[in-house]
Chains A and B, each alone.
Chain A
Amino acid sequence: MLEFKNISKSFDGPEGKVIALKDVSLSVSPGELLAVRGPSGCGKTTLLLTAGGLLRPDGGQVSLNGQDPYGLNPDERSKLRARMIGFVFQQFHLIPYLTVRQNILAPSLALPVKEVDERAEELISHFGLDSRAGHVPAQLSTGERQRTALARALLNRPKVILADEPTGNLDEANADIIFSYFSQYVADGGCVLLVTHDVRAAAHATRTLQMVEGQIVQYG
């Protein structure tokens, strides 16, 4: 489903070139939750954004469902992202002035979804947000925010979920809830690329990789 072949990426920093990814190769198949662990600044987020078609690598090839997102024009790449990928971030990135329901429905503006309202209600119910559907993010707990973000990521029934420290701001109970949703999603045939330094992720992951200084150093 998602494949990296010899991906490298570097940035110009104040103290010279910073290598974020160095010759990274990996693949995530449907039904798999791949956890990439590593310390802060090791290149995990860069890996995730590159996988999501948001950050063009300096070298190597990304394949998403057999397509190279960077071989597409920006509009096609956006469509591919809308159709194939759901993002979940540590900071949730909910739109502050939209309600839970509207936040969940927002991806439908990028890619029209059949019976979108029914789908949104299904997700609201699935994530236990019925009583919060009309609330804005500021009125939600962190757990509710992350569940909303996850529901939003799932609206378009993406093939891949790219999750960046999704439990970083959550307590143990809420983190477990999120992990259990991921597990369920994977069991339903989806695939998840999860970058985290949360050790609990290993318990839910089908595979775990360790990253250090932009390189995969350990396969689990």
Chain B
Amino acid sequence: MKIWQILVKEILHRWRQFALGLFAVIVAVGSLTGALTSLKVHDLHTQKILTEKEEETNKKMAILEDEMRKATLKLSFNLLILPKQQSIRDLHLKGYPSEYMPEEYVTRLANSGIISVRHFLPSLQQRIKWPEKRRTITLVGTRGEVPNLHKNPRQPLVQPVPPGTIVLGYGLHQSLGLKVGDKVKLLGREFAVHECYEERGSVDDFTAWIHLREAQELLSKEGLINAILALECLCPGVEDLLGNIRKEIEQILPGTQVIEKGTKALARAEARIRVGQEAKAAVERERQHRAEMRSEREFFAAVLVPLVMVACAVWVGLVGFNNVRDRKAEIGIQRAMGFRARQIMFLFLSKSLIMGLLGGALGIFAGLGFGRWLALEGDIEGIAAGELFNPGLFLLALITAPVLTVISGWLPAMVATRQDPAEVLREE
């Protein structure tokens, strides 16, 4: 006969009482582990939300950037490189440049290593009489974009007009009753209608676009152009953007002048930067919000967990007192048999210790289970229970829980040892 046999048999005999105490320890340790695990889950959730938000923002920014890139072109946010002798007054009065410069300039620019401009669009423009249709139009010869060889390649903003074809502005194709695929003669040369533009409400509505080479031939301006449209002229964050680009271009092409085309677009571009900054601020706000939520949870845990632990400790103590009361006669006869006080103490404290160890271990798993449930509720995929498991916490709970139960069980154990066996035996 060993004393631990009495211990185990008594636990099994009064298992409901033991289960009540065990439950209290599970609740105490579970609330501690659960609170800490929920903070960990919160952190993982925060990480997930911020990552998603950042990815979403990046995607949106990419779309926005693309849209802005196109909008920049539509709104003529570009620079116009003109021959130096071109009068700006004439340009505005006529609506097109009247001076010429070598087409080779555009190649020189593209090869120059300029970084503030992404695309170059050489053009030859002239107002002409369209004798076959008896009307005055603006004829634009363009060969499409010349990419900047020193920047990452991107989709061209403007598709070139294929040779032998013509693109018509809204006013022209509407008034002439032309549609894509129709054949039309211009200055004696036949062109197939390649595209009919929607209404733009500008001079474009009465403009026809053909390939640059053909325009040069029709206008007898071989090897010449009168404007280079510099597209996507933007360096975010650079003050005096226009001044910088202008200086750069004029260094490469001394015989030219640079004018800005469309300040609204610049505002849009700046707005894009602001949107970008706003998006970053939104992510930062979310981060801040999550941090505040974490602080609230920390505060809640800091208040609630100790309260729960104290309540559970009191509960364990009450269960202990109840156990002492139930075992009054048993303690009395054990004392009569010659059991010493420390043996009685051992029986009670060992029971508290077992309760603490078992409850501590189960409480940890309950807390981890709660955390895992939270993770699933929070739709955080791929979190294994093991990821939430903290060996340090496990050790802490396994030490703290038995210490707390032994402290809680101390007073009842003391009462048991100090119980007067004579009083019990006399009562019986």
Q: Which residues of A contact B (CB under 8 A)?
A: 45-46, 49, 52, 54-55, 74-75, 78-83, 85, 87, 89-91, 93, 95-98, 102, 105-111, 116, 152, 156, 164
Assess A96 versus B338: contact at CB under 8 Å? Given A49-B422, A102-B1. no
Contact of A93 with B338 in the complex, beta carbons under 8 Å: no
Assess A108 versus B426: contact at CB under 8 Å? Given A54-B336, A75-B340, A78-B339. no
Within 8 A of A (CB), among B307-339: 329-330, 332-339
Q: Please give me the residue from chain A that is nearest to B8 by CB atom.
A: A97
B335 contact set on A, CB distance < 8 A:
54, 78
Distance of A83 Cα from B12 Cα, bound (Å) = 30
Contact of B340 with A87 in the complex, beta carbons under 8 Å: no
17 chain-A/chain-B pairs, Cβ below 8 angstroms = A54-B421, A54-B425, A75-B340, A81-B337, A81-B338, A87-B337, A89-B333, A90-B428, A91-B329, A97-B9, A97-B10, A97-B12, A102-B5, A106-B334, A106-B337, A109-B339, A156-B338
Q: Please give me the residue from chain B that is nearest to A104 by CB atom.
A: B1
Distance of A111 Cα from B421 Cα, bound (Å) = 18
Distance of A108 Cα from B6 Cα, bound (Å) = 12
Q: Which of A46, A82, A97 has the most CB of B within 10 A?
A: A97
A74 contact set on B, CB distance < 8 A:
340-341
A91 contact set on B, CB distance < 8 A:
329, 428
B334 contact set on A, CB distance < 8 A:
95, 106, 110
Distance of A102 Cα from B6 Cα, bound (Å) = 9
Cross-chain contact of A97 among B13, B337, B426 (Cβ < 8 A): B13
Contact of A52 with B13 in the complex, beta carbons under 8 Å: no
Q: Please give me the residue from chain A that is nearest to B347 by CB atom.
A: A109
Q: How many Å from the CB of B9 to the closest CB on chain A?
A: 5
Distance of A164 Cα from B421 Cα, bound (Å) = 14
Distance of A116 Cα from B422 Cα, bound (Å) = 28
- B176: Cβ under 8 A from any A Cβ: no
A109 contact set on B, CB distance < 8 A:
1-3, 6, 339, 343
A98 contact set on B, CB distance < 8 A:
6, 9
Distance of A91 Cα from B336 Cα, bound (Å) = 14
Cross-chain contact of A111 among B2, B329, B333, B338 (Cβ < 8 A): B338
Contact of B337 with A110 in the complex, beta carbons under 8 Å: yes
Q: Please give me the residue from chain A that is nearest to B330 by CB atom.
A: A95
A85 contact set on B, CB distance < 8 A:
338
Distance of A154 Cα from B262 Cα, bound (Å) = 114
Contacts A74-B340, A85-B338 aside, 14 further interface pairs with beta carbons under 8 A come to A45-B426, A79-B340, A83-B338, A87-B333, A93-B330, A93-B336, A95-B330, A96-B13, A102-B1, A109-B3, A110-B338, A110-B343, A111-B338, A156-B338
B12 contact set on A, CB distance < 8 A:
97
Within 8 A of A (CB), among B385-428: 421-422, 425-426, 428
Distance of A54 Cα from B426 Cα, bound (Å) = 11
Q: Please give me the residue from chain B that is nearest to A20 by CB atom.
A: B426
A97 contact set on B, CB distance < 8 A:
9-10, 12-13
Contact of A45 with B425 in the complex, beta carbons under 8 Å: yes
Assess A116 versus B330: contact at CB under 8 Å? Given A87-B337, A95-B6. no
B426 contact set on A, CB distance < 8 A:
45-46, 49, 55
Q: Please give me the residue from chain B that is nearest to A84 by CB atom.
A: B338
A106 contact set on B, CB distance < 8 A:
1, 6, 334, 337
Distance of A97 Cα from B327 Cα, bound (Å) = 11
Distance of A181 Cα from B425 Cα, bound (Å) = 23
Distance of A45 Cα from B336 Cα, bound (Å) = 13
Distance of A55 Cα from B339 Cα, bound (Å) = 16
The 4 closest A-B pairs by CB, nearest first: A82-B338, A97-B13, A110-B338, A105-B1
Distance of A119 Cα from B234 Cα, bound (Å) = 104
Q: How many Å from the CB of B107 to the closest CB on chain A?
A: 102
B5 contact set on A, CB distance < 8 A:
102
Distance of A89 Cα from B338 Cα, bound (Å) = 15
Q: How many Å from the CB of B10 to the closest CB on chain A?
A: 6
Contact of B337 with A116 in the complex, beta carbons under 8 Å: no
A90 contact set on B, CB distance < 8 A:
428
Q: How many Å from the CB of B330 to the closest CB on chain A?
A: 6
Q: Which of B6, B337, B422 has the most CB of A within 10 A?
A: B337
Distance of A46 Cα from B422 Cα, bound (Å) = 8
Distance of A110 Cα from B3 Cα, bound (Å) = 10
Assess A54 versus B337: contact at CB under 8 Å? Given A97-B13, A109-B3, A116-B1. no
Contact of B341 with A75 in the complex, beta carbons under 8 Å: yes
B341 contact set on A, CB distance < 8 A:
74-75, 78
Distance of A74 Cα from B344 Cα, bound (Å) = 13
Q: Please give me the residue from chain A that is nearest to B9 by CB atom.
A: A97
Distance of A206 Cα from B336 Cα, bound (Å) = 25
Contact of A49 with B338 in the complex, beta carbons under 8 Å: no
A75 contact set on B, CB distance < 8 A:
340-341
Distance of A98 Cα from B2 Cα, bound (Å) = 12
Q: How many Å from the CB of B14 to the closest CB on chain A?
A: 8
Contact with A along B113-128 (1 / 0, CB 8 A): 0000000000000000
Cross-chain contact of A89 among B1, B339, B425 (Cβ < 8 A): B425
Contact of A78 with B338 in the complex, beta carbons under 8 Å: yes
A152 contact set on B, CB distance < 8 A:
337
Distance of A13 Cα from B366 Cα, bound (Å) = 52
Contact of B428 with A79 in the complex, beta carbons under 8 Å: no
B2 contact set on A, CB distance < 8 A:
109
Distance of A81 Cα from B341 Cα, bound (Å) = 13
B428 contact set on A, CB distance < 8 A:
89-91, 93
Q: How many Å from the CB of A214 to the closest CB on chain B?
A: 14
Contact of B343 with A93 in the complex, beta carbons under 8 Å: no
Contact of A110 with B339 in the complex, beta carbons under 8 Å: yes
Q: Which of B3, B13, B340 has the most CB of A within 10 A?
A: B340
